[in-house]
Structure 1
């Protein structure tokens, strides 16, 4: 979320402005994701299309079928708002898919990640069943406050005041870090205090993404695993 727009929203809201100190204390850095119409180069961050992977890469499969390519993040494109993310390297993400809908987005291994510290030896994997739609994504530094009352239990004001957040010009549906965001859940989807939000994505028809009937997909990673650049054990929820 754009920091200046969020600050102005807090300063001008009668319910929130007296609690600016509290809101500043719970703010977390985020990386907002937006789309670019520029042609996507092989090594650039994107959603959809074909992934950049190692030469010995084997396309992942699950008991009901294959995974689909979600997208890739080239960390060198991010102006780091925090030391949490790698300064370089590429992360390719895949999600479990089956036409009958038997795979559940809360299952272990619903999203799998492959991290490559050095992108120079990677190649494009031409997967014929992949969604050909692709979009270049770009990043900007943002900040996040909890968007839902269920994410905290110490609100010093009526959290209904947060319901106007989606109307802000700087409100971003897709982002890294921060707090998870959702439409229909009534609980904090973060697995535990040892975990943190890695990526929050909304549904998009053009990529054939439909998380929980058109809601959001939230991907979580263990804090220690992120420090060690280990993206192999991710958890997810949707709603």
Structure 2
């Protein structure tokens, strides 16, 4: 598919900010407006999905040498693969990678999440983001026998929308971008509420851009959202009572295709 012109535009965001009485913050805020992709999944028989195509769930299309990841003996579930060749990455940032495939893995086991505190605290090891430069000679790998049916997700094709996203008020406060409490309140209650009502497609799957905050939307400004997984009954994903799973990465690490320090955060509604 082709991507439409970015909506909203920077001018749209600036105008809305000025109408909220926060125009003086524009020069600071515009540095934190981030383009990203909102993704709408449609479940489909995996045999109808071309090997190597971007998708949610199903079986990963990986090199034959790929070793299935696990955490302390618990096999991880395959969440999604993003084929960068299918995304207009230059529209996001000129020095971001533009080819190859990203794969996202995470242990999908609520009993482990809630009964073993060390899992959630092991934020950099409880997930795997795998990358291959290959887009051919891939095999659709079978799930390991250690995964239960509930830990294997239905396959879904992705329809994407390129959009500009704005940070949450928690992010602005945590990074001292807006320090005045009254202005932070005005940002969240006036500007952001109007922005979301006008432009936001809702909670969903995202690749890059800003996270969809459910409880807290703050994180260090040198980290970026890499992938956001939504709760979806058709696919079989449920994150902490209709919540979300986030993958974060340092911006420079993404440029270098270095994924060892990716960390995750899970939140419910």
TM-score (norm 2): 0.75
Q: Which moved further from structure 2: 21-30 or 218-227?
A: 21-30
SS of equivalent to 1:71? strand
Displacement, 1:29? Answer: 1.8
1:30 to 19, 33, 36: 36
Runs of 4+ off more than 6 Å? none
Q: Which runs of 5+ in 1 are unaligned?
A: none
Answer yes or no: is the 8 Å Cα contact 1:106–1:235 preserved in 2: no
Q: Which runs of 5+ in 2 are unaligned?
A: none
Change (3 A) 1:84 1:92: same
CA–CA separation in structure 1 for the residues paired with 2:252 and 2:32: 21
- Pair 1:221 & 2:227 matched: no
Alignment of 1:90-109 (within 5 A): 90-98=101-109, 100-102=111-113, 104-107=119-122, 108-109=124-125
- Pair 1:234 & 2:245 matched: no
CA–CA separation in structure 1 for the residues paired with 2:237 and 2:153: 13
Q: Which moved further from structure 2: 152-161 or 108-117?
A: 152-161
Report the counterpart of residue 210 of structure 2 in structure 1: 179
- Pair 1:149 & 2:169 matched: yes
Report the counterpart of residue 160 of structure 2 in structure 1: 139
Answer yes or no: is the 8 Å Cα contact 1:114–1:232 preserved in 2: no
Answer yes or no: is the 8 Å Cα contact 2:62–2:140 preserved in 1: yes
Deviations, residues 14-59 of structure 1 (Å, cap 9, x unaligned) = 4267468345443122122223567421211000100011112221
Change (3 A) 1:167 1:122: same
TM-score (norm 1): 0.83
- Pair 1:57 & 2:63 matched: no
CA–CA separation in structure 2 for the residues paired with 1:142 and 1:105: 31
CA–CA separation in structure 2 for the residues paired with 1:73 and 1:167: 28
CA–CA separation in structure 2 for the residues paired with 1:105 and 1:210: 16
SS of equivalent to 2:259? coil
Relative to total residues, which structure has the larger helix share, 1 or 2?
A: 2
Q: Which moved further from structure 2: 214-223 or 169-178?
A: 169-178
CA–CA separation in structure 1 for the residues paired with 2:166 and 2:261: 26
Q: Which moved further from structure 2: 128-137 or 229-238?
A: 128-137
Q: What RMSD in Å do the two structures reach over aligned CA positions?
A: 2.9
1:69 to 75, 78, 86: 78
Q: Which moved further from structure 2: 229-238 or 46-55?
A: 229-238
Alignment of 1:200-211 (within 5 A): 200-211=228-239
Equivalent residue pairs, number: 235
Deviations, residues 206-232 of structure 1 (Å, cap 9, x unaligned) = 233222322121111122221211223
Answer yes or no: is the 8 Å Cα contact 1:10–1:17 preserved in 2: no
